[in-house]
Structure 1
Amino acid sequence: MTDPALGAPVTTTHDGAVATVRLDRPSAMNALTLEVKEALLAALREVAADDAVRAVVLTGSGRAFCVGQDLREHVADLRAAQRDPAAAAGLGTTVREHYNPIATLLATMPKPVIASVNGVAAGAGASFAFGCDVRLLGEGAGFNLAFAGIGLSADSGASWWLPRLVGPARAKEPAAAAAHRAGGRGARAWGWRRRWCPTPRLADRTAQARRAGSPRARPRPTRRSGGWSRRRWGRTCRPPWPTRPRLMDRTGATADHLAAVEAFVAKQPPVFEGR
């Protein structure tokens, strides 16, 4: 990994057998640029393959866990695509090359993954937290799926994990599609009350969760045996994500999406015209 002193967007630290992967763009609320996505994917691949690592923590720096795709970079890409359509790569490309592999690694690496949600988690950031085995929530934590607000289909497994975490009825509520505050009553409503704590205690709570398993436990069979396994839903832990890039290409190419992203950057409400 790049030396953190040089401003690496993702850093990895080790404490015994636990690796902490940290999104480290606090000034941008850990938004996902191409550089960040590639660094995060590389970091997760590294810790997944490291036999000395028995547990992984995913967290963010500053007041956000991760707000998803960096829309300033994205709107620049959309404008460039308008100038030169032949050179444009659809949104499905980054879903296929970055978001799906990251989400799959979080869900299937042979060791438990804890999301230490220190602040807002939006879009793909919320999806990444949902794909982890455990979510520990600071008092400033909140989830915002955000996709509908900019005219996109959901990515990174959000539509797969959320109904399985909170139930289909809650997953369909407007609060789940728009914004959900995890602290206090919000955490209790989603069944996550015992995983919420005041932010100053979040690091200690995360450390306790890391130490919960025996240091001699073998994480691969433990994760498969039921406690960490996703097979209890009657399906493998590899959701049907290959269709997501096609859906993202389709919705990302609409005039409504471009207008919504432009409005976001301009801090204006979007106007959808069904185009």
Structure 2
Amino acid sequence: MAISVKDLSIGYTDITVASEINFDSLTGELIGIVGINGIGKSTLLRTLAKIQPSLSGSISIEGKSLETLDTSVLASEISIVLTEPIASKNLTVQELITLGRQPYTNWIGKLSELDKSKIIEAIQTLQLADLKHKKCYELSDGQLQRVMIARALAQDTSIILLDEPTTHLDLYHKIQILKLLKSITVETKKTILFTSHEIEMVIQLCDKMLLLNEANNPFGKPSELIKKGAFDNLFPSDTVAFDADTGTFRIKK
């Protein structure tokens, strides 16, 4: 298993945001984490990356307990892209992607041939060759999102966590990013977990989904979750209804 989560509760010292989270992700799967605003999607990602502690339960990464992995080891297992703005948009695209190799460089930050090859590979995979010398402040939201994913890819971890990778993008670029993530899992066998509000797109493109719902937090293939009626009560029934035949939400007029 790439990630195995058992009876996990997440939140803060005196506030439980979500509990009874259970799922196993296999190598090379694209997994979407969905749910209403404030349900705990971002908190879950930060907990999986050991940025904040869990309240209870267990998380295993490649068969090893998350609690036993120190920062340096974890940086070679998991890369994460959060929604926080980058520290300096004055970096070039290539410089930002190069930061993904920090866990492997020596104390003076000298890049090895392997480091350089991973950076080039990430640039090519995300189709950023024409932009690599541009400053990040010159990029569109969609371009910058591809750069952030390329940085995570350059880190060359088996697991990539992404928080809302399609935020602020138009429909075309949302689809482009999600299809790109799918192709990365297929071509590199990396496991990618990402949070999203684009539930209909996640249903169409992901191998599996985790639906945080303040109850049993169902996990499985989209088709399985639809059959179980997992999406039926996600939103107030007098406003939005889920159509199981089309896998879409319809506004009640």
> What's the TM-score once normalised by structure 1's chain length?
0.25
User: Larger % of strand: which?
Assistant: 2
